[in-house]
């Protein structure tokens, strides 16, 4: 519920207010995209915490750079792959496994569709 509300706020910001702060973020993805992915993939408290930390770190005292959302995503039983159904799906994220049981979340870009 609350996550949905916050996502709406972020959406509004990205649509109408982003020009006010254009080209100021030191990270990729930008703070607002980062927060969006956080609130779509984490519970409220975690998402709020990580998004706040991100904004706090987004100043000249920190280096900036690449900083993707990282979530816990244990690789499931290999049996599961046998049950996979091959249908056409709409890709929203790419979850890239890193270290043990963690994934980075990359947002899919429409221009990557061929």
Partner 1 sequence: MGMNDNTINKEQTQKRILLATALSFVFFIAYDFLYLQPQQKAVELANQQNAKVIEQKTTTPTTNNAPQIAQTNAPQTAVATNQAPESSAITANIITTIKTNRNIIEIDNLGRINQVTLLDKQYVDEDKNQIKLFNAKQLKPLEMRFSNGNINTEAFKVNMIASASDIDATKSKSVLTLTQKLTNTTVTKVLTFYPDGHYDIDVSTTNQAKFFITPGFRPDVLADMYADHGALLTKNDSTLTIIEDEDMDRGEELIGITMASAFDRYYTSTLYNYNTSMSVSVMMDATESPNMFIHANDGIKLRGYMGPKEYKTLASLDNRLTSVIEYGWFTFIAKPMFQLLQFLHDYVGNWGWTIVLTTVLIKLVLFPLSHKGMKSMNRLKELSPKVKALQEKYKDDKQKSSMHMMELYKKEGANPMGGCLPMVLQIPVFFAIYRVLLNSIELKGAPWMLWIDDLGAMDPYYVLPILMGITMFAQQKITPNTMTDPMQQKMFQLLPVIFTFFFLWFPAGLTLYWFINNLFTISQQYYVNTLFANAKVERHEKHLEEKKHKSSKK
Binding residues for partner 1 (CB under 8 A): 15-16, 19-31, 55-66, 107, 109-111
CB of 23 to partner 1, least distance (A): 5
- Provide the H-helix boundaries in the chain: 2-12, 31-41, 44-57, 79-82
To partner 1, the closest distance from the beta carbon of 77 in angstroms equals 33
Q: Which CB atom, from 19 or from 89, has the smaller least distance to partner 1? A: 19
C-alpha angle 22-28-31 in degrees, rounded to nearest 5: 60
Q: How far is CA 65 from CA 4, 54, 103, in A?
A: 28, 12, 18
13 token code pair:
């910001």
By beta-carbon proximity to partner 1, the closer residue of 45 and 112 is: 112
When the beta carbons of 15 and 85 are compared against partner 1, the nearer one is: 15
Smallest distance from the beta carbon of 36 to partner 1, in angstroms? Answer: 13
């Amino acid at each position: 519920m609350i996550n949905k509300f916050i996502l709406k706020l972020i959406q509004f910001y990205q649509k109408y207010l982003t020009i006010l702060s254009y080209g100021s973020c030191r990270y990729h993805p930008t703070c607002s995209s980062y927060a969006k992915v956080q609130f779509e993939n984490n519970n409220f408290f975690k998402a709020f915490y990580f998004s706040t930390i991100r904004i706090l770190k987004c100043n000249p005292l920190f280096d900036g750079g690449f900083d993707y959302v990282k979530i816990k995503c244990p690789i499931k039983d290999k049996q599961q792959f046998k049950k996979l159904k091959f249908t056409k799906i709409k890709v929203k994220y790419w979850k890239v496994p890193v270290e043990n049981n963690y994934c980075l979340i990359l947002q899919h870009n429409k221009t990557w569709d061929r």
